[in-house]
Homo-oligomer: A and B are copies of this chain.
């Protein structure tokens, strides 16, 4: 069968291979051949599916965003209160298990690759601005009487904290165990007056 659904599935599988290589071998080894090997195919298939290496990377980057967005929306929908939603969403932004740790490493790799790529940095900015608006909305819902300025400052603090600890824990998991990240998050939520 050569339905477009199959082509899309192949593109998705190749994007997942991009993530795997990025997480396990790093940005410097992120070659077309390495991606093909991780996907269990040859470079021919990769280059038939994408016009060039950059298009493959851009697709993998966008798919990463879409995937995490869906996961976050599910967490938000399943939460029983605004503050529980805020905590759940922030929690998955840290590196508390192998899956989210992997996600963090991949995220760092794409960010490093975006330094020299205008389109990648644009995607990063679009996605991160959306992320920031989401957290600001959640903070505003969790503290309805706050001023816009305070919501912004606290949301930024929480975003930066989770983003930062994800990077730190991804690079040194032994020193940043999951429970310490959670205690850090809870301490911050308590300090800001946003605890459940």
Is there contact, CB below 8 Å, between A116 and B160? Answer: no
User: How many Å from the CB of A132 to the closest CB on chain B?
Assistant: 8
We find that the number of chain A residues with CB closer than 8 angstroms to chain B is 53
Among the interface residues A25, A121, A166, A187, which one has the most CB atoms of the partner chain B within 10 A?
A187
Is there contact, CB below 8 Å, between B26 and A112? Answer: yes
* A176 to chain B: closest residue by CB: B156
Among the interface residues A26, A125, A160, A181, which one has the most CB atoms of the partner chain B within 10 A?
A160
* A188 to chain B: closest residue by CB: B157
* Chain A residues at the B interface, C-beta cutoff of 8 Å: 22-23, 25-29, 105, 108-109, 111-117, 121, 124-125, 128-129, 132, 149-150, 152-154, 156-157, 159-168, 171-172, 175-176, 180-181, 183-184, 187-188, 191-193
Among the interface residues A113, A167, A192, which one has the most CB atoms of the partner chain B within 10 A?
A167
* A165 to chain B: closest residue by CB: B160
Is there contact, CB below 8 Å, between B159 and A168? Answer: yes
Extra contacts, 6 of them, besides A27-B112, A160-B162, A163-B165 (Cβ < 8 A), are A108-B108, A109-B115, A111-B167, A154-B187, A164-B164, A164-B167
The docked-state distance in angstroms from the alpha carbon of A149 to that of B150 is: 27
Q: Which residues of B contact A166 (CB under 8 A)?
A: 164
Q: Which residues of B contact A108 (CB under 8 A)?
A: 108, 111-112, 115
Q: Which residues of B contact A183 (CB under 8 A)?
A: 149, 153
Among the interface residues A26, A128, A149, which one has the most CB atoms of the partner chain B within 10 A?
A26
User: How many Å from the CB of A105 to the closest CB on chain B?
Assistant: 6
Among the interface residues A25, A163, A180, which one has the most CB atoms of the partner chain B within 10 A?
A163
With beta carbons under 8 angstroms apart, the residue of B105, B109, B161 that contacts A164 is B161
Is there contact, CB below 8 Å, between B27 and A171? Answer: no
